[in-house]
Amino acid sequence: MPNDPDFQRRVVKAALDLLNNDDTPVLVEYPEEAPAAAKGDDDGWVCPISLPAQVRDPKEETITEALSREIAELAPWYDLAVQKSGRTTVGSSGFDVPAAGEFIVSFLSDGIPDSPIEGERVDRVLKWACDDLKAYYYEAMLAQPGGPSSLDLDEWFFGQTTAGAVFFGVQKVLLDDDDEINQFVGKERLIPRNQQYWSPLD
Amino acid sequence: MVRLRDLTDWDRQHILNADVPTFEGRPWTIPPPPAERRVAIVTTAGLHPRGDRAFTPGVGDYRVIPGNCAADELVMSHVSSNFDRTGFQEDLNVVFPIDRLHELVEHRDIGSLASFHYSFMGGGTHPAWMRESALKVIEFLREDHVNTVLLVPV
């Protein structure tokens, strides 16, 4: 349970107290239910930020431009999230977020590029960049009051954002490649199992 | 408490079909009194300091997290796209309860915290592949005078 230090402390204390037994390992059920989260209720969550439409008219705006604009529109909310929490989980790839977006979307325009990091396979760099981009979007949304559940965020990201559409596009590029590792990454590493149904390939 | 019935069918079957070891006997040791416990965290969340090497699937190695590592310096390179990162994004303590342990030290519920903590990554890595790394980590824990480990399987 995030941001509930009292509950967390009780759980950790209970785990450590198991060591006070003087005989045989113990496996017990923790009796306290996690406090009801003020999110993820049955009413469904609606993104409070008005993002541009996911599908753009290619005559007016390329998907690269649309992703760049989407990233920029989320920046104030991401900054607020970092300010509130004092931390960010973005930073696995070494790219800043706009650069991560440009790298990911380049798979759609230019095909699979050479790895930008010497000695690392490009699929690994892609995975880190995707994780960073997702973290940026999710942290921006988690700054909202009465925040969304993880499933809400997945549904929003993969179903409603340009970034999600880019992920599915990159997935197709990888699946169509001859390299078996790239195919595996496309199948398993980019899209959660419970979000594959958004795929235009289905 | 997460229950099997709350999981998706796929996740439930994945857990039920897990290749888990069986043990002969029930080894147990009497730990020191709480006030003498020096505690380290070993998490499987795929955490590491920003700039450290990302985890590689199937390798079973570990990363060191210094006890004074700031929360903002920890990132996650867990390989699974199905791994829910939102708890970590909201609060580091969900996967690495370092603040809670500091509080337990302040309240004298435990004695002290280790100088170093450790992170592994699951994500399809069989526990047996972690054995060699785990044995090394045990040596480091002993050198750090750790006598209690809080395992955080994520």
Query: Which sequence spans correspond to the domains of chain B?
Result: 36-152
Residue A99 tokens read as 């650069």
Interface test with B, best of A89, A93, A181 (most B CBs within 10 A): A89
Q: Hunting for tokens 């958004």 — which residue is that?
A: A198
Residue of A nearest to B46 (CA): A92
- Tell me what the pLDDT averaged over chain B comes to: 93
Rounded to a whole number of angstroms, the CA Rg of chain B reads 16
CA distances from B35 to A17, A122, A151 (A): 12, 49, 41
ipTM confidence score: 0.92
Chain centroid, CA A76 distance in Å: 18
pLDDT at B95 over 80: yes
Does the beta-carbon distance from B34 to A23 stay under 8 Å? no
* pLDDT at residue A58, rounded to an integer: 57
Query: One-letter amino acid identity for A181?
Result: I
Does the beta-carbon distance from A16 to B82 stay under 8 Å? no
| CA distance, residue B18 to nearest chain A CA (Å) | 18
The pair phi, psi for residue B74, each rounded to 5°, is: -100, 130
Nearest to B80 by CA among B11, B8, B1: B11
Q: How far apart are the first and last CA of chain B?
A: 13
d(CA A136, CA A82): 10
* pLDDT at residue B49, rounded to an integer: 96
Residue A109 tokens read as 């325009």
* Lowest-pLDDT range of A42-51, B110-119, B126-135, B143-152: A42-51
| CA distance, residue A52 to nearest chain B CA (Å) | 24
Residue of B nearest to A9 (CA): B100
Query: One-letter amino acid identity for B17?
Result: N
For the stretch A35-45, pLDDT in tens is 865 444 556 67
* Lowest-pLDDT range of A140-149, A183-192, B144-153: A140-149
**Residue in B75, B79, B148 nearest the CB of A89:** B75
For the stretch A11-65, pLDDT in tens is 999 999 998 887 776 788 888 988 865 444 556 677 777 776 655 555 667 899 9
- CB count within 10 Å of CB A120 equals 12
* pLDDT at residue A81, rounded to an integer: 94
* Averaged pLDDT, B51-58: 91
d(CA A142, CA A148): 7
* pLDDT at residue A100, rounded to an integer: 98
* Averaged pLDDT, A153-165: 94
| CA distance, residue B17 to nearest chain A CA (Å) | 18
Does the beta-carbon distance from B31 to A19 stay under 8 Å? yes
Q: What is the 3-state secondary structure (H, E, C) of chain B?
A: CCCHHHCCHHHHHHHHCCCCCCCCCCCCCCCCCHHHCEEEEEECECEEECCCCCCCCCCCCCEEEECCCCHHHEEECCCCCCCCCHHHHHCHHHCCCHHHHHHHHHCCCCCEECCEEEECECCCCCHHHHHHHHHHHHHHHHHCCCCEEEEECC
- Sorted by sequence, the CB contacts under 8 Å of residue A95 that are 6+ apart come out as A103, A129, A132
Residue A182 tokens read as 């790239």
**Residue in A9, A24, A194 nearest the CB of B103:** A9
What does DSSP assign to residue A86? S
Does the beta-carbon distance from A142 to B90 stay under 8 Å? yes
* pLDDT at residue A40, rounded to an integer: 44
Instruction: Specify whether the CB–CB gap between A103 and A95 falls below 8 A.
Output: yes
**Is A201 exposed, middle or buried, given 0-12, 13-18 or 19+ CB atoms closer than 10 A?**
exposed
Instruction: Specify whether the CB–CB gap between A134 and A157 falls below 8 A.
Output: yes
Question: pLDDT > 90: what percent of chain A?
Answer: 68
Residue of B nearest to A22 (CA): B30
Q: Hunting for tokens 């700031």 — which residue is that?
A: B70
Chain A residues with CB-CB distance to B91 below 8 A: 2-3
Which secondary-structure segment (H or E) carries B150? Answer: strand B148-152
Helices (H), chain A: 5-17, 63-85, 97-110, 122-142, 150-160, 162-175, 180-188
- Is the pLDDT higher at A47 or at B126? B126
